[in-house]
Chain A
């Protein structure tokens, strides 16, 4: 079974803090993704990575950056957290064999920025 884990289930931070969200997958997948999910807006893609040290912007990258130093780990960074970044953050990974790869999701991190 594919396992995607996220470092925290719940996180509370203050405005202006630097925030790191960590994601690890154990199936040697090439692709990794970060989404955020908000009521009424659904899941929206923030960033994705198809290889170590490679990254691509998704639909809403503003205010975020990412890091992928090792194949199994993909980090989402909020350089200066703001209240409008309060959300559920979901990490996913996929094998990387083609455009119909299944994405497998982690349990999510609910981030609250005060």
Chain B
């Protein structure tokens, strides 16, 4: 059974204080790993897909990296508007495109 663990559950940072969010996974035959951002009361918004170990992708202050067992979402010099819950979802391809989501990291950036 696919398992996904995100840590920490919650993280409070000062504006400009860089940090990393972790997504550890156990899936058979990873076909891709997705990162989403979710604001309160809204649907998840797609950020990145990573396909193979060693791959990195960047978008503004966010950079996602992937190893064989985990993915990191690095946030550099965050701003208050980066406050959100960040979700990861590895895809093993079992059952069409069904995704197994982690429970997310709730990130708060204080001005």
Contact = CB atoms under 8 A, between A and B. Distances in A.
A and B are interacting partners: yes
Interface stretch (A64-72, A77-85, A97-105): A97-105
Interface in A45-92: 45, 48, 50, 56, 58, 90, 92
A106 B36 CA distance: 13
Contact of A108 (B31, B42, B99, B101): B42
Contacts, number: 66
Interface of A: 4, 31, 33, 40-45, 48, 50, 56, 58, 90, 92, 94, 96, 99-108, 110
Nearest to B36: A105
A104 B44 CA distance: 8
A105 B45 contact: yes
A105 B97 CA distance: 14
A20 B16 CA distance: 45
A94 B95 CA distance: 14
A31 B91 CA distance: 15
B41 A108 contact: yes
